[in-house]
A and B are shown apart, each in its own frame.
Chain A
Amino acid sequence: MMVRLTIDGNQIMVDGHLNVLDAARKLGIYIPTFCHQARLSDLGACRMCLVEVEGMGKLQTACTLAVNEGMVIYTDTPRVQKARSLMLEFLLINHPLECTVCDASGECTLQDLAFKFGSAETRFTGEKRVLRDHIISPLIDRNLNRCIQCKRCVRVCDEIQGVTALGMSYRGAATVVGPFMDKPLDCEYCSHCIWSCPVGAITSRAMKHKMRTWEMEKAEAICPYCSCGCTLLYNHRDNVVYRVTHADGRGGNMGSLCSKGYFGYDVINHPDRITAPMVRDADGTLRKTSWENALAVVALKMGQISKESGGKAVGGIASDRLTNEELFLFQKLMRVVFSSNNVDTPSGRWSRTVVPILEERLGVSAATNSLDELNYTDALLIVGCDITVANPISGLKIKHAIRQGGLVTEVNPGKTALSRLARRSLSVPIGKELTLVKGLIKVIFEEGLYDSEVVGGYGRLSDLEFSVKDKDFKSIARDTNCSEEDIIHTAREFAGAKKASIIFGEIAALQSGGGQIINALIDLLMLTGKLGQEGCGLYPIIAGTNFQGAVDMGASPDRLPGHVQVSSASERKRFETAFSGKIPKEKGMSAYEMMQAAAGGKLKALYLAGVNPMVTFPGGEDVEKALKKMEFLVVQELFLTETAQLADVVLPAGTMAERNGTLTNVERRVQRTRKAIGGVGQSMPDWRIFSELGVACGDEGMKYLNSAEVLDEIAETIPFYSGISHRILAENGLQWPFSKEDAREAYHEGYLGSRHLLADGVSKDNRSFAAVSDWKTHGADSKYPLTLVLGDLLFHSGSFTRYSESLNQLASEATLFMNPQTGMGLDVQDGSVVRAVSAQGEISVAVNYSEDIAPGVLFMPRHFENAPVSALMVSGPDGEAQTAVVHVQVVKA
């Protein structure tokens, strides 16, 4: 219902659900506030938004006053002005006037409003209230005396983050904000409270007294730490990034960040950054040299090996943190200059398992829908994925959906931050996820919860029905450790919901036989008709920042840019013309295969850009042996990592804050990231290194003035990126696919690209079920009876964030998480050191009892050098290493 009202003489028609504050802002009328914040509930606590309403005696708080037909409002009368001024005078009675040392100075709402509306004099001569305070956290600082009790931090912690670590305690003038019992802050360190504080009561300790707010410039960039692709602001001055701030309302994250995005910036100006190229001398030591010399050495050696032993003897692995431009240039360099299809990213296993299934079943290897649609999902099934860790900001969207009444069912080997909020959290043993999904399909068939007119025409429908017949609900429930009701209700909710989606992650996809789970999930979506509409779809969640970009850009041994096969002669021809060079026709080796070929002496030269196989690649000592055997090893890095120390040439690269470019996040959104600072020392952004190396090898086609020129080439060669440019991405990201015309529209109309795919449903060729006949995926055996999940912690991203001192404050060591029940069965105590042994190798690590892990399952983070989990990663039946789920036995050390 629309209502008409008058504000300061201006008439406006607005939605009847709005409040007066929103209505006034629509008219561009400014009403000052402290306690109001977008996305939070309104409270009316600060009394700054008081307005005069005709017919109402007292002044009213605009933020809590609902609009009403015929309302006449004045926002700037002498009475209102006086109320504001008095409110400010009250606040300043106790607020310490220590703006000289306050980190919020310059962006403090109290400072601004007092300057604008306050009185220049104070009539209060008494002493200020001084509260005893103490440090509650190494990263988040609280100053109780500065607090104006607006409750924004408490609400944001509850309503957005869903953690509720902060609360208001005591009352009246003594009200303070703090954690339970005023204990050390035990939370997700998401930084929302710092963002929401309108004064300096909650600030970042990481930048305490480092730089004044007004002396820094801001650059809008994309967070390098996961595939959410959050927009953030690097605050910098004199080539130093001093802090990150939230880009209010920008990007898919609407400004929200997690601990990594907010605190992880200190890797940028870390003192250990490599500042000059280095080449290994005749006497075996790495020595600093000039760029010309280093590039000449690389060009000579790589070229020589490629010429003498063929392109197959040369390989390259690039991090999926690199930008699209960089990954595009990298594969061009490897393919055209060094004649090799041996190009991959460390996430190769996902590329080989998940990507082909998605392509075969859905015709596209990406998430079908946008992350924003998660905000309003009615039913969501999450399988084998701790979304709040893999993609923290997507996790916030799911929490939002839950608050709106969305029914979330989680299938994980333990509890996550969502478990407390979700409708149900099913602890299904690893390997039995397939049983559960098939159980859901069984319910759909038995209760006829599918549209037979639509699905009737699909291939293999009877096979699918038959495949779920040979087990009854009782045994399904027993196998999956769930109740029959849980399975039946989950299926009913899913089938009955208007908007229903599925998320799956590494634990489901990367366990051996995980492909069957994905196929069964797609069957479930197709059977219930939950594909191809808004709010219905499939989200494969991999944490790799620009993993989607790497797939799109052809950083893959078997695919060229644009997902096309290397084996296709016509596509190869097209790229050969575009690149004016030859592309070998056989597909190359994956990252894992390259390491094996290196061990066998078949791969002689390797180019590593931003990857650290010594810590992250499966195989442990085998990796070290393989790398040492390499005739020529180039490592392009930020730090002298374990791998860089073995290199023949080390090239100093740039961080995310030091380059322009684009990234494609997990929802296919191509976004622009901007350079904040110039290179540290002589370091250069990766794309420039690839370009200059190409030129040093004599290929003028590798010459680019800037990354925008590379993007132009991408737009010309990849059909679903056509028309894209830095200029068009200036304001919004764009979700592919889009055409040239779409892109132009984007620039003018705020078009956001393809929010969801498969608008006409699954294509005709793909309308068929997989009808997986197995009931479980490969499980543990008697020798290695425990399932170990190798995953991420909320506070780290790969091995890269180990260089962040702030994040190391939150977690810096790996421990072996296990349920106390498991521990007692194994007779190992909390804190005792044990050996975890797999078929590949073993590591020793301290036990950490946790009720959040399901019995029989173990969890270990894969970031830390104290427990290099890569030593445990076994080669699986498909020839790829098991990087997420391995089977182990635990022995007392």
Chain B
Amino acid sequence: MSADVTLEDVRKDARAEEPEEQIDLAAVDKIIDSLTEMKGMLIPVLQNVQNVYGYVPEEAANSVADGLGLYRSQVYGVLTFYTQFHLSPRGRHIIRACSGTACHVRGGKTVISKLESKLGIGHGETTDDMFASFEKVACLGACGLAPVIMIDIDAHGQLDSLKAERILDNLREMDRMKRGE
């Protein structure tokens, strides 16, 4: 066999993609201990883990699998199946823009492209400074306010690209003040 790729190469490629941060897993162990009494607790455990870290780090997913007696690939299947789980760190603010029918016909598309160009990221991505993550969602259930976006837990309706820009500027200002910059 001509060994064009070695196991070492494959592992090295995988390592290159990883952040080198060390993560304290004490919280994960505590969550597992408090929730393993019942069978079928994988999703609540993962939700709690995500509440602590803001996402589900790989090491935490490992610990969850080992702690619940599941295979890692099974945990990964659940993590990727549900959009509520995130495998990489997310921004301090989550911006969700509606791309449902009502918002679309009332100009949601321009709102979305404004937000994307202003943030410099696309769907499912996070800005480099961890300021915000951006997501397009199917419907926010507020069609009367179309076009609508949500920033964290607040809804902002009846937008156009100008209003969206202003909201984003305000958000950044607030973020700066909060971080004392």
Contacts and interface: CB of A to CB of B under 8 A. Distances in A.
Interface stretch (B72-80, B94-102, B103-111, B149-157): B72-80
B74 A809 contact: no
B11 interface: yes
Contact of A138 (B10, B80, B81): B10
A169 B3 contact: no
Interface in A163-188: 164-171, 179-181, 183-184
Q: Taking chain B's interface residues, is the majority helix, strand, or loop, or is none over half, making it mixed?
A: helix
B74 A138 contact: no
Contact of A167 (B1, B3, B58, B76): B76
A156 to B, nearest CB: 13
B81 A184 contact: no
Ranked nearest first, the 9 interchain pairs of A and B with the lowest CB-CB distance are A167-B73, A164-B71, A180-B72, A169-B80, A167-B77, A184-B10, A206-B1, A170-B80, A180-B76
A166 B6 contact: no
Interface in A96-142: 134-138
Contacts of B75: 180
Nearest to A204: B1
Given A169-B80, A184-B11, A164 B73 contact: yes
B59 to A, nearest CB: 11
A135 B13 contact: yes
Given A135-B13, A137-B10, A184-B14, A179 B3 contact: no
A136 B10 CA distance: 6
B49 interface: no
A205 B1 CA distance: 9
A809 B73 contact: no
B5 A184 contact: no
Contacts of A136: 10
A179 B62 CA distance: 13
A138 B72 CA distance: 21
Interface in A652-706: none
A887 B42 CA distance: 45
A806 interface: yes
A87 interface: no
A205 B13 CA distance: 18
Interface string B1-29: 10101110111011000000000000000
Given A169-B80, A806-B1, A138 B73 contact: no
Given A164-B73, A164-B74, A181-B87, A169 B81 contact: yes
B61 interface: yes
Interface residues of A, number: 28
A597 interface: no
A805 interface: yes
A170 B74 CA distance: 12
B73 A165 contact: yes
Interface in B63-91: 71-77, 79-81, 87
B60 to A, nearest CB: 12
5 contacts: A135-B10, A138-B10, A171-B81, A266-B1, A809-B7
A170 B5 CA distance: 27
Contacts of B81: 169-171
A786 B58 CA distance: 36
Chain B interface size, as a band, is 20 to 34
A698 B179 CA distance: 97
A170 B77 CA distance: 7
B122 to A, nearest CB: 15
A810 interface: yes
Given A181-B87, A206-B1, A138 B71 contact: no
A171 B79 CA distance: 11
A409 B66 CA distance: 21
A137 B1 CA distance: 14
Nearest to B73: A167
A207 B3 CA distance: 11
A165 B1 CA distance: 24
Nearest to B69: A420
Contacts of B58: 181
B74 A135 contact: no
B80 A179 contact: no
Given A138-B9, A170-B80, 16 more contacts: A134-B13, A138-B7, A138-B10, A154-B73, A166-B73, A169-B76, A169-B81, A171-B80, A181-B58, A183-B14, A184-B10, A205-B1, A206-B1, A805-B1, A806-B1, A809-B6
Nearest to B5: A138
Contacts of B10: 135-138, 184
Contact of A169 (B11, B13, B14, B77): B77
A207 B2 CA distance: 9
Contacts of B76: 167, 169, 180-181
A170 B80 CA distance: 5
Interface string A197-211: 000000001110000
Contacts of A181: 58, 61, 76, 87
A184 B1 contact: no
Nearest to A805: B1
A167 B74 CA distance: 6
B135 to A, nearest CB: 16
Interface in A351-373: none
A208 to B, nearest CB: 9
A247 B70 CA distance: 32
A809 B3 contact: yes
A810 B1 CA distance: 13
Nearest to A804: B1
A205 B5 contact: yes
B86 to A, nearest CB: 13
Interface in A199-235: 205-207
A138 B11 CA distance: 10
B137 to A, nearest CB: 16
Contacts of B80: 169-171
B5 A135 contact: yes
Contacts of B87: 181
A171 B77 CA distance: 9
Contacts of B13: 134-135, 184
Contacts of A810: 7
Contacts of B6: 138, 809
